[in-house]
Amino acid sequence: MRKYKSHKSVKNKKGEAVRQDLSLFQTAKNMSTVADKFEELGVIPVVVLNDVKDALPLAKALVEGGLPCAEVTFRTEAAEESIKQIHKAYPDMLIAAGTVLTTEQVDRAVAAGASIIVSPGFDPEIVDYCISKNIEVCPGIVTPSELAQAVKRGLTRVKFFPAEAAGGLAMIKAMCAAYTTVKIMPTGGISAKNIKEYLACDKIFCCGGSWMVKGDMIKAGEFDKIKEMTKEAVNLVKEIRSK
């Protein structure tokens, strides 16, 4: 496994070698390119792929449904190869690697074609590693303390997970009243029923959700249904944004 470098040796004014903690000095700069595109789309399908054979039909359904993006979660063995195949077949599709829990997974996800790293919780090691490598990262947060850690590192986009269980819109509004530089991607419990309420809040840049790409539909090969539900999600975003 690759060794993560959390500090470097620098000289102080007296010429003595001192340890400098990289996480305190490196902050994210201009790292919101992919997140900006997510904001344009408004909703990101969160996908669990158990079988690589489903990757391309799923990507096709999403693209044809009007959402050329996906958060492919590293919860299954199939994730890495699925990202690779989707990226090759649909190079313009925005692929986030989700549920990234180690820096080794960061490397594998990026090599496969992911252009942003998403994690369920705030792991400083993963965030600092991504920043040091100029890899866009959108870590999960659920408390003001975690949000503070993200803000300190210059991040302007974070995931709020698990959104509904952790206080939903009320919690997001309360936290963002104090931390005004960040925008939030709530994920967990978002569906066609409540996405409009979330997107109506100016602190939210997009929502993540699995309702249009549920595992049972993927397993049953119901890609036409996925395409239709994707179109419906796109229409909900349009409706709320046209107001």
Q: What residues act catalytically?
A: 71, 159
User: Is 135 strand, coil or helix?
Assistant: coil
- Amino acid identity of residue 96, one-letter, is A
* Least Å from the CB of residue 207 to ligand 3PG: 9
Contacts of 144 (CB under 8 A, 6+ apart): 175, 178, 179
Helix 124-132 and helix 103-112: axis angle, to 10°?
40
Q: In degrees, to the nearest 5, what angle opens at C-alpha 63 toward C-alphas 59 and 66?
A: 140
Among 189, 194, 201, 240, binds ligand 3PG (CB under 6 A): 189
Is residue 160 at the binding interface for ligand 3PG, with CB under 6 A as the rule? no
Q: Which of 83, 94, 95, 92 is nearest to 56 (CA)?
A: 83
Is residue 168 at the binding interface for ligand 3PG, with CB under 6 A as the rule? no
Is residue 161 at the binding interface for ligand 3PG, with CB under 6 A as the rule? yes
Among 34, 35, 43, 46, binds ligand 3PG (CB under 6 A): 46
Helix 55-65 and helix 223-241: axis angle, to 10°?
30
| Segment contacting ligand 3PG by CB under 6 A, of 16-24, 82-90, 183-191, 234-242 | 183-191
* Least Å from the CB of residue 53 to ligand 3PG: 21
* Least Å from the CB of residue 157 to ligand 3PG: 16
| Segment contacting ligand 3PG by CB under 6 A, of 9-17, 35-43, 82-90, 205-213 | 205-213
Closest-CB residue for ligand 3PG?
A: 210
Spacing of C-alpha 133 from chain mean position: 17
CA distance 46 to 210: 5
Lookup: tokens for 68: 């050329």
Is residue 139 at the binding interface for ligand 3PG, with CB under 6 A as the rule? no
Q: Total binding residues for ligand 3PG by CB under 6 A? A: 10
Which residues contact ligand 3PG (rule: CB under 6 A)?
46, 161, 187-190, 208-211
